[in-house]
Structure 1
Amino acid sequence: MRKTHAHDDAQSINNVLERRAFQLIAISCLAVFLCAVLTLLEGDILICQLLISSVPPLSFCLYLAHKKHTKLSSEGFIWTLTFLLLSILWLSNGFFNAGLLALPCILIFAAMLGTSSSFGAILALFSLNIALMGYLHSRGIFVFSHITNEKTRPIISIIIIGVSGFSMRLLIKDYTHAIRRLGRENAKVKESEKAIAFLANHDSLTELPNRTLANERFQEAVQRLTLSHSNKKIALMFIDLDDFKTINDSLGHAAGDRYLVAIAERLRDATRPRDTVCRLGGDEFLLILEGLDHERDASLVAGAIQKRISRPVITGQHKLVCSASIGISVYPNDGERYNELVKKADIAMYRSKEVGRNTFHYYCVSMNSDALDRMQLLDDLRTALKNNELYVEYQPIVLLATGKMVGAEALVRWQHPTRGIIGPDMFIPLAEKSGLIVDIGAWVLERACHDIAGLQHHHATDFYVAVNVSTLQLKRDDFKKRVENVLASTPISPQSLELEITESELLSDSAEFDEAITQLKAMGISLAIDDFGTGYSNLGYVQKIKVSKLKIDRSFVHGIQGNSDNQAIVRAVHNIADGLIMSTVAEGVEHACELDFLKRLGITHGQGYFWSRPVAIECLIHLLQEPHTTSLNNELFLS
């Protein structure tokens, strides 16, 4: 953009110079012609011839100016006038001639249109000639006459003064215009500098201070406390919006941005003018509360903030609601350095997430050990694949109408060498946050396809396997290639593979995601939406990608026979699936009464403890061989 403005300015200047050169040459040609006429009337044939002889070169300069050859035409113009004027002075009455008045005019032309060297040369040439005329005249060597034509001299003087004055007017006009334009450009530069300085220290979306300015504000607050010798506290409050990702994924980033702007305004309203509200990035905010009498005073602010955030935000046709998990650290109790206190507030916020969200916690030393434990667990997870600590279990998927086992969902498990079995609810979030889910997901996909290929070969050719995939996997450029390689290396058809995507991930607003879905469908792989009904559903998008199944979350299935709300939700999901020609899978079926109710609703598939817990591939094969043994009370599968 700046290059474009600079180019436009340069072009504008060139246009002015071209226009001025043409105007001044044209005016000078007219003045020379008028002077020639006057000298002819005086009877001064020699001077008249000189003036007329200058018309062709001046006309050529005018032609060059018309053709935009500004530099060449300007140089030719001022030197033609210079030699013309000097010739007239020497051949007439020297410095007594009215043409002497034209010297300043030519100098103005040289200053406006010529180069610095040309201006200096012409000024020197004029000075030397006038000095020489004076010297020769005083010595009597070359005597110039004082006698002038009293009739034509005033007219010629008026012409020369008129041309000089008009030229000066043009110069001053251009100069004034340039000064004004420079002033405007200077003002724009200052505004740009202010904007750059603002962007360097503020978040561009919410206009709140960013991390850099937050650090400065904290240092200033500490300095004020130090200078006042006060025992007051400074609290750092780390705020993370719960389930904001669902809003972003389901309604798009534009709606998410509007929501963040609204939350930022509420945070400003909930704090004092001397407090600082910062946006750290994403859905994370930081409050710096200074001048607290007691560290527990921050609890009142935290409670007020959670109330404000929990109120719905209306954006367009949507009513958006989030809660907030908050962590608090206090200066100087928990530390004196900004980065240390932010980290500890973050750790305290993580504890709020762990205990159910929508609450706040102060940092305490024991939280550090928990954070270190998570870091160690993540480090162990990095080597779990290499050490063969991960394994896959399978939970059967049953056709409710016949009781036939038609598929199974592959579920990853972790056998830690010292901690024993670690549940997926502990390590899967760590894997997703760190990006390890990509490698883990690829391994699970390969393992599941290999196991089911063996099962199909010996027992059930139409058996399929359902594998969970994450958004991170789908957005990888090599995901399609990985799936193709797995299918090529195992004797399993694409129709035997079903990929399960959670509802919020399916609605991810991403071109890469859409492209991956399209490619998988083209390969013949079926798609299922897992945990349907727990997020913000976009039925238009569901229809667009034509998924095969909707999996009803277990929270709606549990105790459905006595819960009218859950019955209504399950019935609605079934109607949606039926209208879009999809199958439905009820997760978490545990009791016969639940099964009977689901069958009456028309649900097509089910999985849950009623048939089997997740089991190893060998136990799954055993279930296929002896289906009559599959029940909730079978000790083999409950162990």
Structure 2
Amino acid sequence: MRRPGEKFIRNLPLQRKLMLIIMGCCTATLFVSSLFFVAREAKVLYRNQQEYLVSLADMIGRNSAPALAFNDPKPALDTIRPVTEKGNILAVYILNKDGRLFVRYQAAGQVHTALPLEGLPDWASQDQVAEAVRQVTSEAYTSSFLSGYASVVRPIRLDGEQIGTVVIHANASGFLNSLRWNVLVALGFMAVTFLVFCLFSARLQLMISAPLLGLLAAMKEISASKNFALRVTKPCDDEIGLLYDGFNEMLHEIEERDQILRQRQAHLQQLAHYDPLTRLPNRTLFYDRLAQALFHAERAREAVAVIFIDLDHFKDINDTLGHRTGDLLLIEVAGRLGTVVRSCDTVARLGGDEFTIFCQNVANEENAALVAQKLVALFATPFRLGSSEIRVTASVGVTLFPHHGKTVDELLMNADIAMYHAKGCGKNVFALFDKRMNEHASERVTLLADLRQAVELGQFVLHYQPKVDLLTGKVTSVESLVRWMHPRLGMLAPDKFIRLAEESGMIAELTAWVLRTACLQAKAWQDANLAPVRVAVNLSPFHFQRQDVKQSVCAVLEATGLDPTLLEIEITESALMQNDEYTCRVLRELREMGITISVDDFGTGYSSLSYLHRFPINTLKIDRTFILNMMKSSEDQAIVTAIIAMAKSLKMQIVAEGVESVDQLEALKDQGCHEIQGFLVSRPVNAERVARFFTDEDHLQLQNSAAQPLAEGTAQHLVNGKA
């Protein structure tokens, strides 16, 4: 435990500590040296005084020895009387051999009652005299300082034999005066030296403390200003100078680390509030800004438009052209969006291909719709990315504060609903939010929840649509088409739930079920000794992303025992182009197993025709949109002709989808198309009804003999007739 004085000293300022140390050391040194000097002088003075008294006592002893020998006090008294007349001698005593007072004489006017032998009578006993002599002997030194007299006791000898003792008492005032003078000189010397030391100490401590205090002041200034670029000037080259060098080096390191920290903080701030790709505000910053805008709009009673933008078919661009191209496209889109809004508005990227905008002080829905029209029009001009030119459209959803919501989450949710409504209306349009859209969105959420249980509950069924050879009229294969027997909504076509399955990740499980069920059905037809007809299954691009296509197909073929030559795999152009190295390899391995490979809906994707020769493809299926319009549009007619010519040059089979009339049939036959599929032959039907097409009959004979184009009812009649 520290003592209070120690704590007090520790808390003193540095200047006072240095002064205290220096002055303390100096004072102690002066005191010790002065004490030594005074003590030495006192010893010298005392020795001189004693030597004088000893010599005087010896002289008295020699002169009074005969008187003692003859026991004659008178000569002894005559001997000492002249001595006592000296000014400093107080008294002289001579003792005989027996230790009794022989003679004594005291100087006139020098009475000193404190003398030990003075109070003894002449007839004092031997013991009393001996005790007094012992007292004089023991107090001989201290009496000079304390009692003011000096004493000496010397034996008187005659022929080597002690015959008496002489005792002299002298006044010590001279000794004391000299001692006082020496003390005063020492004190004066100490005082002068102390003053000199004070001045020297002040200068010395200033030399030590001033640089340290300057360093302390610099530290306080840097701490207050946070300016680590400041430096202190080195005052000297000693240890304090080294301390300054170390301090400057420390400041340099702190400055560098502070700069790095500031850069990292700025980077983290950027990452926390801005999208790293487009440099637009991210979701967090957008929410914050929109919340503030809604607060001010509510106080000013103004409207705020919240706009949700989603690029159409952006996933296909990523899959076919690569993510790098997709990123460049997003950067260009962000740049264009910024040209439409005002400086007070905010454009943000929520993630993926989703962008959001809020516009402040919007007068009404018409103004919001005008902004949405400008946004849609931005995508009319192609995007040039290096040497490539890409066309992309966007679906836009618009909601208005406070009419369609009063919170950030509510407005964004309604804008998202409006955007999905725009996509449902054909994409590349905008839609203003309407409360009825909520009902559709709610139904979509319910449908998604039902979809998760549909496979487990066995609610999916497969229908099959035959493909017919144009030369023989015979069925070559049937395409498996999934239907959902919803307990509440009835039979649902794929366009009602496939997109939901893709968004929810259910597509892999659903595709696996379709592949397994179709292979089991094909194996049942094979075991029933029906004509060998391939069953076609459309594989989701998700399987190619997971890179488990071959494993899934081989596992199903092994489990069902189906001959691989009776299986046909249909893939879309987007699945064909994504990860093309893996896709090319796995398709070649499947084809080597005997499986037929077809490209479904050809002509609607982003792939180049020049890529096709790299892939082991057996069949191209022309998309139904070209077939439906080929009799009305010369452009679609030209596309169909070009696809057929190109496929023939690559030695691929051609299947035309969506054939519904005899005119389309004849035109396709004239152009050399190999197979057709559509309502002209049959709608998708269940396995039992489609099995009736597995005959050697010419299923196109009736159509070829008809005089007028077949209407939908006629096609249905043909289906029913074959069922």
TM over 0.5: yes
The 2-side partners of 1:174 and 1:522 are apart by: 76
The 2-side partners of 1:136 and 1:337 are apart by: 87
Aligned to 1:190: 262
Aligned to 2:514: 444
Q: 1:376 to 1:513 in 2, by over 3 A?
A: farther
The 2-side partners of 1:563 and 1:525 are apart by: 36
Shift of 1:172: 6.2
The yes-or-no answer on 1:338 pairing with 2:404 is: no
The 1-side partners of 2:365 and 2:552 are apart by: 53
The yes-or-no answer on 1:378 pairing with 2:448 is: yes
Question: Contact 1:585–1:604 at 8 Å: present in 2 too?
Answer: yes
Q: 1:500 to 1:139 in 2, by over 3 A?
A: farther
The 1-side partners of 2:565 and 2:677 are apart by: 20
The 1-side partners of 2:256 and 2:374 are apart by: 47
1:623 partner letter:
F
The one-character-per-residue Cα deviations of 1:209-247 (angstroms, maximum 9, x if unpaired) are 111111100121123234xx3121111111111222232
Equivalent positions of 1:61-460 (< 5 A) are 165=237, 176-226=248-298, 229-460=299-530
Question: Contact 2:599–2:619 at 8 Å: present in 1 too?
Answer: yes
Aligned to 2:646: 576
Q: 1:398 to 1:170 in 2, by over 3 A?
A: farther
Provide the secondary structure at the position in 2 that maps to 1:322: coil
Q: 1:524 to 1:202 in 2, by over 3 A?
A: farther
Shift of 1:461: 5.9
Question: Contact 1:518–1:545 at 8 Å: present in 2 too?
Answer: yes
The 2-side partners of 1:307 and 1:483 are apart by: 45
The 2-side partners of 1:167 and 1:350 are apart by: 76
The one-character-per-residue Cα deviations of 1:308-356 (angstroms, maximum 9, x if unpaired) are 2222111122222222211112222222211111101111111111112
Q: 1:177 to 1:368 in 2, by over 3 A?
A: same
Q: Which runs of 5+ in 2 are unaligned?
A: 1-21, 37-235, 704-713
Question: Contact 1:236–1:345 at 8 Å: present in 2 too?
Answer: yes
The one-character-per-residue Cα deviations of 1:241-300 (angstroms, maximum 9, x if unpaired) are 122223222211111111111111111110011111111111111111112232432112
Shift of 1:451: 1.1
The one-character-per-residue Cα deviations of 1:526-562 (angstroms, maximum 9, x if unpaired) are 3211111111113454333322221111112225355
The one-character-per-residue Cα deviations of 1:379-409 (angstroms, maximum 9, x if unpaired) are 2222322333221111112222322211111
Q: Which has the higher helix share?
A: 1
The one-character-per-residue Cα deviations of 1:8-51 (angstroms, maximum 9, x if unpaired) are xxxxxxxxxxxxxxxxxxxxxxxxxxxxxxxxxxxxxxxxxxxx
2:363 partner letter:
D
Question: Contact 2:308–2:355 at 8 Å: present in 1 too?
Answer: yes
2:289 partner letter:
R
Provide the secondary structure at the position in 1 that maps to 2:497: helix
Provide the secondary structure at the position in 1 that maps to 2:647: helix
Shift of 1:440: 1.4
The yes-or-no answer on 1:469 pairing with 2:539 is: yes
Equivalent positions of 1:585-596 (< 5 A) are 585-596=655-666
The 1-side partners of 2:649 and 2:718 are apart by: 40
Question: Contact 1:233–1:295 at 8 Å: present in 2 too?
Answer: no
Provide the secondary structure at the position in 2 that maps to 1:269: coil
Provide the secondary structure at the position in 2 that maps to 1:391: strand
Equivalent positions of 1:484-633 (< 5 A) are 484-509=554-579, 517=587, 520-521=590-591, 523-539=593-609, 541-561=611-631, 563-625=633-695, 627-628=697-698, 633=714
Q: 1:269 to 1:174 in 2, by over 3 A?
A: same
Q: 1:214 to 1:562 in 2, by over 3 A?
A: closer
The 2-side partners of 1:366 and 1:223 are apart by: 27
Question: Contact 2:682–2:718 at 8 Å: present in 1 too?
Answer: no
Aligned to 1:54: none
Shift of 1:208: 0.8
The one-character-per-residue Cα deviations of 1:77-111 (angstroms, maximum 9, x if unpaired) are xxxxxxxxxxxxxxxxxxxxxxxxxxxxxxxxxxx
Question: Contact 1:400–1:603 at 8 Å: present in 2 too?
Answer: yes
Question: Contact 2:472–2:698 at 8 Å: present in 1 too?
Answer: no
Range that drifts further, 468-477 or 558-567: 558-567
Aligned to 2:150: none
Aligned to 2:167: none
The yes-or-no answer on 1:637 pairing with 2:716 is: no
The one-character-per-residue Cα deviations of 1:422-446 (angstroms, maximum 9, x if unpaired) are 1211111122221222121111111
Shift of 1:415: 2.3
The 1-side partners of 2:675 and 2:459 are apart by: 32
Range that drifts further, 373-382 or 337-346: 373-382
Question: Contact 1:249–1:507 at 8 Å: present in 2 too?
Answer: yes
Question: Contact 2:511–2:539 at 8 Å: present in 1 too?
Answer: yes
Provide the secondary structure at the position in 2 that maps to 1:301: helix
Question: Contact 1:232–1:294 at 8 Å: present in 2 too?
Answer: no
| Percentage identity across paired residues of the two chains | 37
Question: Contact 2:584–2:616 at 8 Å: present in 1 too?
Answer: no
1:282 partner letter:
G
The 1-side partners of 2:305 and 2:677 are apart by: 49
The one-character-per-residue Cα deviations of 1:601-639 (angstroms, maximum 9, x if unpaired) are 232222122222222222222112363456564626259
Number of residue-to-residue matches in the alignment: 490
Question: Contact 2:422–2:429 at 8 Å: present in 1 too?
Answer: yes
Provide the secondary structure at the position in 1 that maps to 2:300: coil
Shift of 1:576: 2.8
Provide the secondary structure at the position in 2 that maps to 1:307: helix
The one-character-per-residue Cα deviations of 1:487-512 (angstroms, maximum 9, x if unpaired) are 11223122321211111232224887
> C-alpha root-mean-square deviation of aligned residues, in Å?
3.2
The 2-side partners of 1:460 and 1:286 are apart by: 57
1:436 partner letter:
M
Shift of 1:303: 1.2
Question: Contact 2:531–2:694 at 8 Å: present in 1 too?
Answer: no
Q: Which runs of 5+ in 1 are unaligned?
A: 1-126, 142-163
The 2-side partners of 1:214 and 1:562 are apart by: 48
Provide the secondary structure at the position in 1 that maps to 2:658: coil
Provide the secondary structure at the position in 2 that maps to 1:614: coil
Question: Contact 2:584–2:614 at 8 Å: present in 1 too?
Answer: no
Question: Contact 1:615–1:637 at 8 Å: present in 2 too?
Answer: no
Q: 1:636 to 1:568 in 2, by over 3 A?
A: closer
